[in-house]
Chains A and B, each alone.
Chain A
Amino acid sequence: MQITLKLFATFRTARFKIAPQEVPAGTKCLAIVINLGLTEDEVGVVLVNGRHATLDHILHDNDTLSLFPLVGGG
């Protein structure tokens, strides 16, 4: 199946902003994170289709996964 992967802040460094990804059905967010060479601890915010999700969340075809390090402001 295909998902859209969006990366933000330092996660973009030497990677990309947005890219389609071909992944096996039943893939969890964590697998994508590890595939990027990131660790669980480095991930701050996980959004699937604009909603907060955990790294255990199972992705579906055409999902958009957005990954952020821990960031803040205001």
Chain B
Amino acid sequence: MDKILRVNMSDQTTRLEAVPAEWAGLGGRGLTSTIVAAEVPASCHALGAHNKLVFAPGLLTGTAAANSGRLSAGAKSPLTGTIKESNAGGTAAQMLARLGIKALIIEGMPAKDAWYSLHVNKDGVTIQEETELIGKGNFAVIEALEARLGKKTGVLTIGPVGELKMTAANISVKDPDSKIRSHGRGGLGAVMGSKKIKFISIDDAGGPGIKIADPEKFKLAARTFAKALLAHPVSGEGLPTYGTNVLVNVLNEAGGLPTRNFTYGSFEGADKISGETMHDVISARGGKTRHGCHAGCIIQCSQVYNDKDGKYLTSGFEYETIWGLGADCCIDNLDDIARADSIMDDIGIDSIETAVMFGVAMEAGILSFGDSKEMLRLLGEEIGKGTPLGRILGGGAGSVGKAYGVTRVPVVKNQGIPAYDPRSVKGIGITYATSTMGADHTAGYTIATNILNVGGYVDPLKKEGQVELSRNLQIATAAVDSTGMCIFVAFPALDIPECLPALIDMINARFGINLTGDDVTNLGKHILKVEHQFNIEAGFTKEHDRLPEFFNTEKVAPHNAVWDFSGEEIDEFWNF
């Protein structure tokens, strides 16, 4: 039977609880946001005793459904002050699901000045004091835990950035190759650090496993679903071949690739850091162009990127990271960007927030645009070691902007704006402005329809249709984020009619229920409203649903576009 694990760090107790009826139909983001909204006072300090860190696998996680192995992490964000859900691949989600754990809730704060670890297995969860691995990077933690507890051990860990509670800290998840995936956004690593938990180890041996209510129906739906994923050109061919970084050239050509801290919309060195170039470099150096972040992923958008000597450098090397450290920082050296990616994994910092931050830091004159060597030094020697400058940088783009008096600071609700310029791709601007998470492209990925001709086409340079597009995608995404599915299933789901019904059929067959498409839409709406209400109680108003002023006044080349939505037009978003 499914259960909730609750850990109280204040009195060092753990509890096994039955799943309340109102949580039974929820998973992933739907569950983490519901728990955070119900149990965390919206006005609390995100790094204080009243915040809670919640992990939840999705509704389909642990089953044979393709691409269903995502884990949601939720809390009040120390970066944004809003509710936060960030999901990641890796092995932990499927292990927790097979143990019958619907959610792991960590609350309170230890009184003693000591570090701890949690160990989750078939009997529940235990708290142990930890000394050996404190101060260590994430790769060293994973290596040590595999030696200590066995190769198959699942790991959730924070690096030094999380230990020092910097607000760009992430939570790292061990992937099937003992490398790293991340709950990247919103500073959840700092929340874990505030609870003084260095790592969570997971052993799923002897767990109850997943029971499917209607195995035949599930099998049939799972087959249809997988077929749709492989049939769509984006999920079946583009992503496996070039990874997400295929977007560099597309956005560059469309004038939506933020360059030099959001000053221009295209980058001279784009081709050198593009997915096409990266594919050739990986192939020539004996890396892997295809790689899955969790067992059962059939899209395989990840890769293994080797250095020029054929030695492993990084994996899970994403478009947003490459865009940010590349075009936005005017760096066209893909190897240095890969080195930075590896350091960020190791010290445990969000690669999107950090990339946006470096654009602001360059504008501030902390380092020069294009200086990749100094960027690597700042990552390892300042942020990784927690020097005073490192802590300012580790606080993200907004932190550096404030400390250095920069006015061009691309953040919404203090979270860095990723990879797509909202002036020349207007739909994504609505998502950045209105998302309950702060600026987050994944919350309602209008790039699909604005740029890529997936799910129809809405002209990225015009205002018409953008609010509705963003709203529909944000509702659908909130629902998909609750299933444990990778968000890239949205590409086939938008274009292939059998895909979404097959996804719903899998949920119905898994639980023996009868959800309709409308039920799923209503779930998405409900989640957004729960999250929005939390934010309102935390002090956010519609005036926070705005983009930074410079987008209104500074034209971005080549289309000379500005952000021209009025507040009233943006606020229409919440009219559902």
Contact = CB atoms under 8 A, between A and B. Distances in A.
Interface in B440-454: 441-442, 445, 447-448, 451-454
Interface string B241-282: 111111101100111000000000010000100011000000
Given A9-B238, A12-B276, A70-B238, A45 B246 contact: no
B301 interface: yes
A23 interface: no
A9 B253 contact: no
A8 B244 contact: no
B77 to A, nearest CB: 21
B80 to A, nearest CB: 20
A8 B232 CA distance: 18
A71 B441 contact: no
Interface in A25-74: 44-45, 47, 50-52, 66, 68-74
Given A74-B244, A74-B447, A68 B271 contact: no
B369 interface: no
> What is the predominant secondary structure among interface residues of chain A facing chain B?
mixed
Contacts of A73: 238-239, 242-247, 275, 301, 319
Contact of B445 (A17, A47, A69, A74): A74
Contact of B452 (A17, A44, A50): A44
Interface string B318-339: 0110000000000000000000
B460 interface: yes
Contacts of A47: 253-254
A72 B254 contact: no
Nearest to A68: B250
Contact of A71 (B246, B254, B457): B246
Given A44-B233, A69-B233, A70-B454, A50 B442 contact: no
Contacts of B448: 72, 74
B389 to A, nearest CB: 32
Contacts of A70: 232-234, 238, 452-454
Contact of B441 (A17, A45, A74): A74
> What is the predominant secondary structure among interface residues of chain B facing chain A?
helix
Nearest to A6: B253
B371 to A, nearest CB: 27
B287 to A, nearest CB: 18
B453 A44 contact: yes
Contact of B234 (A10, A12, A72): A72
A17 B453 contact: no
B246 A9 contact: yes
B457 A17 contact: no
Contacts of B459: 52
B491 interface: yes
Contacts of B250: 8, 45, 68, 71
A9 B452 contact: no
A52 B276 contact: no
Nearest to A74: B445
A10 B238 CA distance: 9
B275 A74 contact: no
A50 B254 contact: yes
Contacts of A69: 233, 237-238
B35 interface: no
B241 A8 contact: no
Contacts of B276: 8-9, 12
17 contacts: A6-B253, A9-B241, A17-B271, A44-B233, A44-B453, A45-B451, A52-B451, A69-B233, A70-B232, A70-B234, A70-B454, A72-B246, A72-B448, A73-B238, A73-B242, A73-B301, A74-B445
Interface of A: 6, 8-10, 12, 17, 44-45, 47, 50-52, 66, 68-74
